[in-house]
Amino acid sequence: MTTTTPTRRFVLAAAGLGLATALGGQALAAQQAAAALSAEDQALVDKATAYIQTLGSAKGRFVQTDARGTRTQGTIWLQRPGKARFAYDGPAGLLVVSNGANVNIFDSRLKTFESYPLSRTPLALLLAREVRLDRGVTITGVRKLADGFTITAQDAKRQTLGRISLDFGADAALMGWTVTDVKGGETRVRLVDFEKTSGLDPKLFVLTDPRRRVGKP
Give the mean pLDDT of 119-125: 72
Question: For residue 197, what pLDDT band results from cuts at 50, 70 and 90?
Answer: very high
Question: For residue 211, what pLDDT band results from cuts at 50, 70 and 90?
Answer: confident
Predicted pLDDT at 19: 33
Confirm if 187 and 9 have CB atoms less than 8 A apart: yes
Dihedral of CA atoms 43, 44, 49, 50 in degrees, nearest 10, equals 70
What are the boundaries of each domain within the chain? 9-193
Predicted pLDDT at 50: 86
Predicted pLDDT at 179: 82
Per-residue pLDDT at 33 exceeds 60: no
Give the mean pLDDT of 107-125: 81
Question: For residue 150, what pLDDT band results from cuts at 50, 70 and 90?
Answer: very high
Confirm if 10 and 164 have CB atoms less than 8 A apart: no
| Mean pLDDT of the residues in the chain | 76
Predicted pLDDT at 131: 66
In one-letter notation, the amino acid at residue 126 is L
Per-residue pLDDT at 213 exceeds 50: yes
Predicted pLDDT at 156: 59
Per-residue pLDDT at 1 exceeds 50: no
Per-residue pLDDT at 52 exceeds 70: yes
Question: For residue 32, what pLDDT band results from cuts at 50, 70 and 90?
Answer: very low
Question: For residue 87, what pLDDT band results from cuts at 50, 70 and 90?
Answer: very high
Helix (H, G, I), strand (E, B) or coil at 73: strand
**CATH number given to 9-193:** 2.50.20.10
Cα separation of 56 and 141, whole Å? 27
pTM for the full predicted model: 0.76
Report the DSSP beta bridge partners of residue 131: none
Give the mean pLDDT of 149-164: 70
Question: For residue 18, what pLDDT band results from cuts at 50, 70 and 90?
Answer: very low
Between the alpha carbon of residue 138 and those of residues 10, 117, 178, the distances in Å are 21, 22, 16
Task: Give 5's DSSP letter.
Answer: -
Predicted pLDDT at 161: 54
